[in-house]
A and B are shown apart, each in its own frame.
Chain A
Amino acid sequence: MRRVRNGVYILLGLLVAAVWLFPVYWMATTAIKPGRDMYSAQPQLIPLHPTMQHINRVLDDPAFWQALRNSATVTAITVVFAMVVAFLSAVAVARFDFRGRKAFLASVLVVQLVPHVALIIPLFLALSGLGFADTLTGLVIAYLAFAMPFAVWTMRGFVAGVPRELEEAAMIDGCTPLQAFRRVTLPLVLPGLIATSIFTMILSWNEYLVAYFLTSSPDRYTLPLWLTHFITSEGAEFGPLMAGSTLIALPVAICFALAQRNLAHGLTAGAVKG
């Protein structure tokens, strides 16, 4: 009876893995299938004639490299700024009591819930007023704000999780406060920094909606916008589309998989309570 039940669990587990794996598998295999295999009456579950034609078409496209540069720039700057800004706020709310602390925390939570779609029109008007419409700077500012609530919330849990006594002990042993911070606090909040920077990275690397509205010049396209090139009113060119998708999603998926442990920890610390 027990063995039967365990067998059922294993079958279900395999089924779950298959359902969540299949779209990714189908994307990656379509990317290396020649056109006649992609568009055959009988879809081929295994790519029998792998080809680089779609991938080469992407790699030979200068617009792809431009978009890659734009995405990488926006993402890197957003992550660095978000970490610094969120960390400072996290220290403020975790270590200090000040007037408006609760109000700050509550508003951080509330803004997380405001639909981006509703903000887009005025955001566009506001950024144009500052001369940031259709610039990468404008995107960085927007993504910073979108990433901020989650980052502050998660970091707060980690900072609060480092006992003050540890820092004090380090200072008793002769560390300056800055040294105590660098040698004691920083290593302890590092998993939190990694988790939040990965979330921020994914947010800005994957963001489509705001980029779509704020960007009009093709040389400022980020990867998601570049990808939509392959969709025309006559339909989509699924070969290069899947090749491009694979190239865009791959680095992120690898980062995610590598940081799997930190992620789960970061989430529990932030979401469940630090």
Chain B
Amino acid sequence: MRRARIVRARRITVRKEAVAVTVATHAAAGPAPAPRRPRRPRLPFLLIAPAAVILLLVQAYPLARVAALSFQSWGLAQIFSDEAAPFVGLENFQRILSDPLFWAALRRTLVLTAAMVSLTMLFGVGIALLMERLPAWLRRVVMSVLVMAWAVPTFVSTQVFAWMTQQNFGVLNHLLGLGQHNWYVNPVEGLSVATAVVVWGAVPFIAVTTYAGLTQVPGELVESARMDGASGLQVLRRVTLPLLKPVLGIQIVLSVIWDFQVFNQIWLLRNASPEPEYQTIGIYAYMQAYQGHDYGYAGAVALVNVLLLAVVLVVYVRQLIRMGDLA
């Protein structure tokens, strides 16, 4: 008891000195109800300054610029001369409303996102549950394979899938006995290949993180549910999945955001010139900008894209707040 007091006293004096000298970082634990995080007016701002500058330059400024661009008519004249871009008000957005290609691209993007996200989650969570039930050696094998697949860059996996689905010599046609089937004449089939590339690449992340979450589900909970007579499926539905809900929620939101922006896979499968039937909203915006040189309109399409994702974002931030992650 006395020793404890002495230690504490020492701690306090040391602390005073330390605060005087240093950068640092400690508080709490003392007998006085010290605030958990010391307020030191300038230091934290200095610490976040570099990150803030980079984020402002590369994320915030471009985003503001896109927003401005979408109210302007910005085209070839602005590239080749320094002619100021005229503001056109909502004209670009009115054009979007009456642009059938935009609506078709939007519908395509939504359908693709739904398909990619649900398949990714289905396989990812399924594989995580399966890994829990595998003998250790096989679990290690599956884990290593998934981690390796995860490391394969999308432009590489896309080329590999393009080669596997090649019309004359592709291994897929051979394995399925399809002869010389061309996978890209029908955009539904072509986009299915793109979906397969995306899902193949995205499942490892979901499976590995879900598995990490599963290992944190307390064994006693599962056991006591079992003792109360719950079947395996009931344990899964009533105990395991509810506990995983926060993790799954974030995974779904992240997947929606990633898959909504899918670009590389479709772009490369179609040799950098996707037909209109293959264009998602991101690709459509890009084509308007770089091939149509209509940067103002492209900016408006991109802005609509960001706003649609903002809806998802609200769900995401709310989920994080509920998990206490912003505390």
- Whole-angstrom distance between the alpha carbons of A38 and B174 in the complex? 13
Q: Are A98 and B45 in contact (CB under 8 A)?
A: yes
Q: Which of A46-54, A55-63, A86-94, A186-194 lies on the face that meets chain B?
A: A86-94
- CB contacts (< 8 Å) of A89 on chain B: these are 47-48, 50-51
- What per-residue 1/0 map shows which CB atoms of A234-246 lie under 8 Å from chain B? 0010100110010
Q: Are B48 and A118 in contact (CB under 8 A)?
A: no
Q: Are B57 and A141 in contact (CB under 8 A)?
A: yes
Contacts A10-B134, A224-B153 given: A114-B306 contact, CB under 8 Å? yes
For chain B, residues 124 to 154, give those with C-beta under 8 angstroms from any C-beta of chain A: 127, 130-131, 133-135, 138-139, 141-154
- Whole-angstrom distance between the alpha carbons of A269 and B283 in the complex? 35
- What per-residue 1/0 map shows which CB atoms of B1-40 lie under 8 Å from chain A? 0000001001100110010011111111100000111111
- What per-residue 1/0 map shows which CB atoms of A103-117 lie under 8 Å from chain B? 011111111011111
Q: Are B169 and A172 in contact (CB under 8 A)?
A: no
Residue of B nearest to A153 (CB): B325
For B41, B134, B153, the residue with the greatest tally of chain A CB atoms inside 10 Å of its CB is: B153
- Whole-angstrom distance between the alpha carbons of A252 and B148 in the complex? 9
For chain A, residues 213 to 269, give those with C-beta under 8 angstroms from any C-beta of chain B: 224, 227-228, 231, 233, 236, 238, 241-242, 245, 248-249, 252-253, 255-257, 260, 263-264, 267-268
B104 at the interface (CB under 8 A from A): no
- Whole-angstrom distance between the alpha carbons of A23 and B36 in the complex? 51
CB distance from B319 to the nearest CB of A (A): 11
- CB contacts (< 8 Å) of B58 on chain A: these are 119, 123, 126, 141-142, 144-146
- CB contacts (< 8 Å) of B139 on chain A: these are 13
- CB contacts (< 8 Å) of B261 on chain A: these are 115-117
For A115, A125, A142, A168, the residue with the greatest tally of chain B CB atoms inside 10 Å of its CB is: A115
- CB contacts (< 8 Å) of A101 on chain B: these are 44
Counting contact residues on chain A (CB < 8 A from B), the size range is 35 or more
Q: Are A272 and B159 in contact (CB under 8 A)?
A: no
Contacts A85-B54, A267-B208 given: A171-B62 contact, CB under 8 Å? no
A121 at the interface (CB under 8 A from B): yes
B264 at the interface (CB under 8 A from A): yes
Q: Are A236 and B163 in contact (CB under 8 A)?
A: yes
Question: Which one of B21, B50, B130, B169 contacts A39 once the chains associate, using CB atoms below 8 Å?
Answer: B169
CB distance from A162 to the nearest CB of B (A): 9
- CB contacts (< 8 Å) of A24 on chain B: these are 148-149, 152, 160
A95 at the interface (CB under 8 A from B): yes
CB distance from B86 to the nearest CB of A (A): 17
Q: Are B326 and A106 in contact (CB under 8 A)?
A: yes
Contacts A245-B159, A273-B324 given: A177-B282 contact, CB under 8 Å? no
For chain A, residues 132 to 168, give those with C-beta under 8 angstroms from any C-beta of chain B: 141-142, 144-146, 148-149, 152, 164-165, 167-168
- CB contacts (< 8 Å) of A80 on chain B: these are none
- Whole-angstrom distance between the alpha carbons of A42 and B51 in the complex? 55
Q: Are B147 and A26 in contact (CB under 8 A)?
A: no
- What per-residue 1/0 map shows which CB atoms of B236-267 lie under 8 Å from chain A? 00000000001100100000010011011000
- CB contacts (< 8 Å) of A202 on chain B: these are 151, 153
Question: Which one of A41, A43, A233 contacts B271 once the chains associate, using CB atoms below 8 Å?
Answer: A233
- CB contacts (< 8 Å) of A167 on chain B: these are 24-26
- CB contacts (< 8 Å) of B166 on chain A: these are 238
For B43, B54, B155, B264, the residue with the greatest tally of chain A CB atoms inside 10 Å of its CB is: B155
Question: Which one of B36, B160, B272 contacts A27 once the chains associate, using CB atoms below 8 Å?
Answer: B160
Q: Are B260 and A121 in contact (CB under 8 A)?
A: no
- What per-residue 1/0 map shows which CB atoms of B286-318 lie under 8 Å from chain A? 100100000100110011011001001100110
Contacts A24-B149, A96-B43, A224-B153 given: A13-B209 contact, CB under 8 Å? no
Question: Which one of B7, B43, B263, B320 contacts A117 once the chains associate, using CB atoms below 8 Å?
Answer: B263
- CB contacts (< 8 Å) of B116 on chain A: these are none
- Whole-angstrom distance between the alpha carbons of A252 and B152 in the complex? 8
Residue of B nearest to A246 (CB): B156
Question: Which one of B41, B44, B155, B159 contacts A242 once the chains associate, using CB atoms below 8 Å?
Answer: B159
Contacts A13-B134, A177-B21, A236-B163 given: A273-B51 contact, CB under 8 Å? no
- Whole-angstrom distance between the alpha carbons of A97 and B27 in the complex? 12
- 10 tightest A-B CB contacts, nearest first: A145-B58, A206-B153, A122-B65, A97-B37, A118-B302, A92-B47, A122-B62, A177-B22, A256-B151, A96-B44
A residues at B contact (CB < 8 Å): 6, 9-10, 12-14, 16-17, 19-21, 23-24, 26-27, 30, 38-43, 45, 84-86, 88-89, 91-93, 95-98, 101-102, 104-111, 113-123, 125-126, 141-142, 144-146, 148-149, 152, 164-165, 167-168, 171-172, 176-178, 181, 202, 205-206, 208-209, 224, 227-228, 231, 233, 236, 238, 241-242, 245, 248-249, 252-253, 255-257, 260, 263-264, 267-268, 271-273
B residues at A contact (CB < 8 Å): 7, 10-11, 14-15, 18, 21-29, 35-41, 43-45, 47-48, 50-52, 54-55, 57-63, 65-66, 69, 127, 130-131, 133-135, 138-139, 141-157, 159-164, 166, 168-171, 174, 200, 203-204, 208-209, 212-213, 216, 246-247, 250, 257, 260-261, 263-264, 268, 271-272, 282-283, 285-286, 289, 295, 298-299, 302-303, 305-306, 309, 312-313, 316-317, 320, 323-326
A-B contact pairs, 7 of them (CB 8 A): A16-B130, A20-B204, A91-B25, A104-B48, A118-B285, A224-B153, A238-B163
